[in-house]
Amino acid sequence: MPVVGRFAPSPTGALHLGSARTLLAAWLSVRQQRGRFIWRVEDLDGPRTVPGAVEQAMDDARWLGLDWDEGPDRSGPHAPYAQSERSALYDAALQRLADAGRVFPCLRSRKDLQTLASAPHGPAAGALPGTEGVPPYPKAWRPSMPLPPGWLRPDLDAAVRFLVPVGTVGFNDRVQGRVEEDTAAAVGDFVLKRRDGAFAYQLAVVVDDLAMGVTEVVRGVDLLDSTARQLHLIGALGGNVPAYAHVGLVVNEAGEKLSKRDGALALAALRERGVAAESVVGWLAHSLGLATAAEPLTARALVDGFRWARVPAGPVVASGEL
């Protein structure tokens, strides 16, 4: 099977050291195996999309010496490469899941779930928050009657949830090791399409990774708890499970994940301050366990020596002094 990797940033801001570190690891892994590398734009969250962020991120990546074989700037056999243009595929997948009886419409709100958690004598009193910060979706809220054929219509005024099967799913992460989750207990039936018509990240990412033949997924460890849900969806839609590598986050000196507030650590800002691309790559390589010191390096020079086993699982602190 040909190796296919992808970088799938959400265009919500500038590429910073954290996203660059994930990108570099994803790129090195694919380039070492002479595979194809895809740049995909995860712009489903329209209101959070920052104009120009897609071009800026690609520009920053080129500055680092990275390239890709398919993407919004060059097209390719899996176009379009922006999720906002791929709704027809997500709808088709949802229809297949509906035909297989794996999804159901839901009129409950997030608030209903939160109320359930705080109800002193409610059925879920004392329930721990699930991985989404709300209690797992109760089985009692599933439809009690069989759904009429054709219920999944384009004008459906309800969210669509995935019927999570019982049991544990697991995978061997290349960085984090063995991960297992009983999704029914931890999250419950999760949303694939919101009532307002927006597709959920979990559905879009699985549909796209399957459609694009992705064999390895590299992303930040903050998405580790999404993977079990994605495994369920891959199982339901049919397709090969990719290899996963969840890379530790780059944090600021307060230990927080880099965000817009850490603008000084955006690649564009480093560039403006006159920091050389090789210095950034050197710092990233050192933080990934691929170089003994943070000395200037090119990305190409790292390809042959890249090993997942060297990449540390935990966070790294960026001080701004590269």
**Interface contacts to ligand GLU, rule CB under 6 A:** 8-10, 42, 205, 219-220, 223
Distance CA 93, CA 3 (A): 24
Q: Which residues pair with 106 in a beta bridge?
A: 159
Closer Cβ to ligand GLU, 10 or 135, answer by number: 10
Beta carbons within 8 Å of 228's beta carbon, 6+ residues apart: 169, 170, 179, 180, 181, 183, 186
Minimum distance, C-beta of residue 148 to ligand GLU, in the bound complex (Å): 34
Minimum distance, C-beta of residue 292 to ligand GLU, in the bound complex (Å): 29
Closer Cβ to ligand GLU, 42 or 70, answer by number: 42
Beta carbons within 8 Å of 143's beta carbon, 6+ residues apart: 104, 105
Minimum distance, C-beta of residue 208 to ligand GLU, in the bound complex (Å): 9
Closer Cβ to ligand GLU, 36 or 219, answer by number: 219
Which residue, among 154, 116, 169, has the nearest Cα to 138 in the 3D structure? 116
| 3-state SS, residue 104 | strand
User: Position of tokens 């040909």?
Assistant: 2
The 8-class DSSP code of residue 167 comes to: S
Minimum distance, C-beta of residue 216 to ligand GLU, in the bound complex (Å): 11
Closer Cβ to ligand GLU, 106 or 193, answer by number: 193
Minimum distance, C-beta of residue 1 to ligand GLU, in the bound complex (Å): 20
Q: What value, to the nearest 5°, has the Cα angle with vertex 210 and ends 204 and 211?
A: 85
Closer Cβ to ligand GLU, 40 or 193, answer by number: 40
